[in-house]
Amino acid sequence: SSWWSHVEMGPPDPILGVTEAFKRDTNSKKMNLGVGAYRDDNGKPYVLNCVRKAEAMIASKKMDKEYLPIGGLVDFTRASAELALGENSEVIKSGRYITVQGISGTGSLRIGANFLQRFFKPSRDVYLPKPSWGNHTPIFRDAGMQLQAYRYYDPKTCSLDFSGAVDDISKIPEKSIILLHACAHNPTGVDPRQEQWKELAAVVKKRNLLVFFDMAYQGFASGDINRDAWAVRHFIEQGINIVLSQSFAKNMGLYGERAGAFTVICKDAEEAKRVESQLKILIRPMYSNPPMNGARIASTILNTPDLRKEWLMEVKGMADRIISMRTQLVSNLKKEGSSHNWQHITDQIGMFCFTGLKPEQVERLIKEFSIYMTKDGRISVAGVSSGNVGYLAHAIHQVTK
Amino acid sequence: AYRTDEGQPWVLPVVKKVEQLIANDNSLNHEYLPILGLPEFRANASRIALGDDSPAIKENRVGSVQSLGGTGALRIGAEFLRRWYNGNNNTATPVYVSTPTWENHNSVFMDAGFKDIRTYHYWDAAKRGLDLQGLLNDMENAPQSSIFILHACAHNPTGTDPSPEQWKQIAAVMKRRSLFPFFDSAYQGFASGSLDKDAWAVRFFVSEGFELFCAQSFSKNFGLYNERVGNLTVVGKDADNVQRVLSQMEKIVRTTWSNPPSQGARIVATTLSSPQLFDEWKGNVKTMADRVLLMRSELRSRLEALGTPGTWNHITEQIGMFSFTGLNPKQVEYMVKEKHIYLMASGRINMCGLTTKNLDYVAKSIHEAVTKIQ
């Protein structure tokens, strides 16, 4: 007999299931709107030019493959922090922060979660927005934390339930942990406006909460890296010492290279050193030290002026295409004669859009039109192109009229 | 890490070649790998460990999880065992590591949630060899179902491996006592120069019908240190069990790193799946292993020629990157302070640090340390 007889079959990943079904479909008009990766207007994966250039530069240097330090490539972590906080940030200047390289967004979140589990004594509770990225909950749970929620998305308006959020956050027990999506909320695409962020910062400060920002889409949301980092920077300016997870999967198209970073803003540089030492103690028994390739590419781009300029243009290009698809989808829906209010599609931001479609409608889209998305009605706008936006609008109209 | 005779890091020629192939392949992009990793990597990596003709592979009862280096493979395996082995979430299952062992072993299993990490006898300082009897006694006395971390070859840090006969004895006890073998294989090919020879222990256990885990690293044998290329090979009773195990490992991976890095896995997969590149790689591996073997024999012969007190056959009998010289902490201090030769307080030296240029100096220094310091 086997040691594993009692091991249950794990549930299939819901998002993967979408892609699997899509692959099996033989309809030539099929669309995969579950994919969490950017596609160009031909529906193809896009390798950024600045990435190709950076790779060529790196190859020509003929570097060795010696282990990185546990905390990662220093040129990368420094540049990541500067990108998020702004190079003129007082935090950067004083050195009262530590940034370690993480395995893209997930790995950075996990390091953060484990760090909080070990060193954040006041509370085990992490408050997530309702809804949040599906992987947030198991990450924090596996790290030994407990999950709570605050109101966020209003399904009636397909937009932010701001009063509900403020109401819930005002009642969060002091010294709990609150997770906020810095921009391009996943899965809803609903972000607070700047005035709303200001109010959230005030409430959070009043409740003395530890703020964990997840920034997976800097640059990718509005097309402007500074605008997308506004909330993060505002909170810090308000004296809130946040922790932050960054991903370069989407904004640099480095998905499979796993480039990410975890930052802790500290009281001073001395505290940062102590925090760093503990982060390393967490990382070492997980994977020893991080992978070089993605970090080196990202670092080359961020630290080479010409490449950085090119990157800023390319990330704006991706964001602009997404925004344009949103606009075209709405205008096509109007053309189809839909009487519904689809404004949320253009109000929302980033890769994802909560269409407001109900499960039965989603089912019809899948079965009758071979348009694949997750049951919650979330579509990846990245999967929409000028070639198929008309078909998508037509199909949505058919199932909602 | 490996060093050339000039004391430099070495990017394997086959790796350079394959990286060029990858760079020139415009069909490739940076999309996410599946959660469990690149399929061609996983299959080839496990095949390397278990052998082309492995009955377990033929019987479709082998699973693989691409991981972040050997450490990552150990961690995924440890997290899985803590959740699903010997009951559900049984953090009390004893985990045994050798004395001494790679120091990170303890932390990996502790952070995975195991509360009872014990040691088993391994290094006999007096005879400078394996304390087989101590090891077997510990296994006899270990609670049933205990987990044992075994070094597949080139034991780190002692360089002392059980012989095939000794492995047979170990396996017999483990089978009788229902102990779980978790192999750590960080040096396959790098130890003896032969992939098959270095995998003998793992394959023997498989042939004895064990269910086991093998954490593989491609850091050393491919020189891909910072790409973090590893693989957790899972051998189970049958395909169904392995499938369920993998489905749960997938959940663990998802909350740890989501999916693994692609560059290193591509390099290894491309190399292993091309007969020509595979041969070239084996040649590169043998180059590294041979240099280390040469340094061992040269060091030993110098010490014996100098008449350095003690016996020095352990230098050539030990295998892999490291050697437990037998120098005591005071002698080590002399080496570091007076001779500027850096080695661990345990007396462990990294053979890769030896070159034809420094052999004489190192041998003389050891001679001095041993004769001057007791």
The domains located in chain B, with CATH, are: 13-273 (3.40.640.10), 289-372 (3.90.1150.10)
Which CA distances in Å does A365 have to A42, A52, A362, A375, A387?
21, 37, 5, 11, 18
Q: Do B72 and A286 touch (CB under 8 A)?
A: yes
Query: Do B367 and B303 meet the contact criterion of CB atoms below 8 Å apart?
Result: yes
Band the pLDDT of A14: cuts 50, 70, 90.
confident
Q: What is the pLDDT of residues B332-371, one digit of tens each?
A: 999 999 999 999 999 999 999 999 999 999 999 999 999 9
Q: Do B226 and A258 touch (CB under 8 A)?
A: no
Q: How confident is the model at residue A12 (pLDDT cuts 50, 70, 90)?
A: confident
Q: Enumerate residues 28 to 47 of chain B having a beta carbon within 8 A of any beta carbon in chain A.
A: 29-33, 35
Question: Is residue A313 in some structural domain?
Answer: no
Q: Is B235 on the interface with A (CB under 8 A)?
A: no
Give the model confidence (pLDDT) of A71-107 as tens digits: 999 999 999 999 999 989 999 999 999 999 999 999 9
- HEC states along chain A? CCCCCCCCCCCCCHHHHHHHHHHHCCCCCCEECCCCCCECCCCCECCCHHHHHHHHHHHHHCCCCCCCCCCCCHHHHHHHHHHHHCCCCHHHHHCCEEEEEEEHHHHHHHHHHHHHHHHCCCCCEEEEEECCCCCHHHHHHHCCCEEEEEECEECCCCEECHHHHHHHHHCCCCCCEEEEECCCCCCCCCCCCHHHHHHHHHHHHHCCCEEEEEECCCCCCCCCHHHHCHHHHHHHHCCCCCEEEEECCCCCCCHHHCEEEEEEECCCHHHHHHHHHHHHHHHHHHHCCCCHHHHHHHHHHHHCHHHHHHHHHHHHHHHHHHHHHHHHHHHHHHHHCCCCCCHHHHHCCCCEEECCCCHHHHHHHHHHHCEECCCCCEEEHHHCCCCCHHHHHHHHHHHHC
Residue B17's pLDDT is: 98
Q: Is B100 part of the contact surface with chain A (CB cutoff 8 Å)?
A: no
- Does residue A184 sit within a domain? yes
User: Does residue A4 sit within a domain?
Assistant: no
Within-domain flag for A375: yes
DSSP 3-state assignment of B186?
coil
Residue A114 and residue A187 in one domain: yes
Q: Which of A270, A303, A336 is the last residue of a domain?
A: A303
Q: Are A141 and A169 contained in the same domain?
A: yes
Same domain, A237 and A332: no
Q: Is A59 among the domain residues?
A: no
Residue pair A190/A160 in contact (Cβ under 8 Å)? The answer is yes
Residue A246 and residue A346 in one domain: no
The beta-carbon neighbor of A293 closest among B69, B227, B257 is B227
A8 in a structural domain:
no
**Exposure pattern of A389-398 as b/e (b: 16+ CB <10 Å)?**
bebbbebbbe
Are residues A274 and A182 both part of a single domain? yes
What backbone torsions phi and psi does residue A153 show, to the nearest 5 degrees? -95, 135
Burial class (CB in 10 A: 0-12, 13-18, 19+), B76: buried
Residue ending a domain, among A303, A334, A365, is A303
Contact residues on chain B for A107, CB-CB shorter than 8 A? 256-258
Q: Please tell me the predicted confidence (pLDDT) of residue B261.
A: 98
Q: Do A45 and B84 touch (CB under 8 A)?
A: no
Q: Is residue A61 part of a domain?
A: no
List, for residues A273-287, the tens digit of each pLDDT value: 999 999 999 999 999
Residues of B known to be catalytic: 102, 184, 220
For A60, nearest residue in chain B (alpha carbons): B20
State which residues form the domain around A237: 67-303
For the purposes of burial, counting CB atoms within 10 Å of the CB of A57, is it exposed (0-12), middle (13-18) or buried (19 or more)? Answer: middle
Among A271, A303, A335, give the residue marking a domain's end: A303
Report whether B104 contacts B71 (CB < 8 A).
yes
Asked whether residue A9 is assigned to any structural domain, the reply reads no
**For residue A13, is pLDDT > 80?**
no
For B257, the enclosing helix (H) or strand (E) is none
Min Cα distance B126 → chain A (Å) is 32
Same-domain check for residues A298 and A335: no
Q: A234 and A338 share a domain?
A: no
Number of folded domains that form chain A: 2
Residues of B in contact with A136 (CB under 8 A): none
Measured between CA atoms, the residue of chain B closest to residue A288 is B71
CATH number at residue A259: 3.40.640.10
- Residues of A belonging to the active site: 133, 214, 250
Helix, coil or strand: residue B321: coil
Of A110, A256, A284, the CB nearest to B32: A256
Residues A24 and A99 in one domain: no
Task: Output the pLDDT for position A15.
Answer: 76
- A35 confidence band (pLDDT: 50, 70, 90): confident
Residue of A342, A327, A325, A326 whose CA lies nearest to A397: A342
Q: What pLDDT was estimated at residue B67?
A: 98
Q: What is the mean pLDDT of residues A133-147?
A: 97
H or E stretch covering B347:
none
> Considering only CB atoms, which chain A residues are within 8 Å of B244?
4, 7-10
Q: How confident is the model at residue A17 (pLDDT cuts 50, 70, 90)?
A: confident
Chain A positions in Cβ-Cβ contact with residue B261 (cut-off 8 Å): 103, 256-258, 291, 293-294
For B237, the closest of A2, A106, A107 (CB atoms) is A2
Confidence tier at B213 by pLDDT (50, 70, 90): very high
A34 and A166, same domain (yes or no): no
Q: What are phi and psi of A261, to 5 degrees?
A: -150, 145
Q: Which residues of A touch B11 (CB under 8 A)?
A: 62, 64-65
Task: Tell me whether B25 touches chain A (CB under 8 Å).
Answer: no
CATH number at residue A340: 3.90.1150.10
- Lookup result for tokens 């307080």: B345
Using a CB–CB cutoff of 8 Å, tell me whether B90 touches chain A: no
In this structure, the answer to whether residues A24 and A94 fall within a common structural domain is no
CB contact B159 to A (< 8 Å) = no
Is residue A139 domain-shared with residue A266, that is, in the same domain? yes
Q: Which residue in the set B30, B245, B261 is minimally distant from A4, CB to CB?
A: B245
**A165 and A36 belong to one structural domain:** no
| ipTM at complex level | 0.96
| B90 C-beta neighbours (distance < 10 Å), count | 16
